[in-house]
Structure 1
Amino acid sequence: MKQFLFLSLIFFGFQFVKAQSNKIQYDSLLAKKLGADDYGMKSYILAILKTGTYTAKDKKESDSLFRGHMNNIGKLASEGKLTVAGPLGKNDNAYRGIFILDVKTVEEARKLCESDPAIKSNLFVVDLYPWYCSAALMEVNKIHETIQKKSH
């Protein structure tokens, strides 16, 4: 029994040491590709879309603006400028959605947002903020393509 206990302790001790050595290693090539700083972070621009003052005349116009909005999201994502986008649930602040843009300045983000017909028409207005987050966020679109069954 003592021998079994002794061997068990040695076995579990080795497992603990092995678990400690299985830490993920820094990947300098990936960090460089993603634009990561020494902390694995990078700067983005966070866009918060809010309900604007314009109301579409009818369903046809509304559908057209939203189709253009979705097409613009796809275009910016394919260009590597849009990292994440999505709608927000009902709220008291008239917030409708967010974009996280991989650009350096608020001015550049504003120009990209102005290419969106829903923003251009003032159906949505956008507030832009510098934002610091993990550079790993840059991999979201690539991963998303492998898990979506349908596309907009």
Structure 2
Amino acid sequence: MKQTVSTPSNLDLERLEEQRAVVVRFVSADSLSNYQTVAGKLGTLRALLDASVFAPDQTYELQCMGIVFGDAFVQQHGFEWVSVEDEYGRDPALRFPRTSVLLFPLTMISKRIERGEAIDVFDMFNGVADIALEKVQEELKG
């Protein structure tokens, strides 16, 4: 089966909100305004990782962190949430508008933690952004 990319359904959007909420519950009321920034989102993720709040086998919670990581791409670089369906199921992804460049932030954090890797979310964010935006530029030049 080929990949099908579509606008997220209402159910998809509800799932994203539920996953964001898992992370936001760790943000103090005093920090909520800072959390609205890209640095605030990434800083929250870093703090959760540094404190080992979620164990490597807490895949759902780690994937919730991936959604917030993706939100930082939307906010900083203009990516948009889409749904990608293939023979393995339907997952949220990011697409740069008017391109075929896709990112799958849902598992970017969970896969690394499950493998026992240390993560610097700021370095990962910048590294993924550099590669993705280079592909965007190549594609838009055509």
State if a TM-score over 0.5 links the two structures.
Answer: no
TM-score (norm: length of structure 2): 0.29
- TM-score, length-scaled by structure 1: 0.27
Rg larger in structure = 1
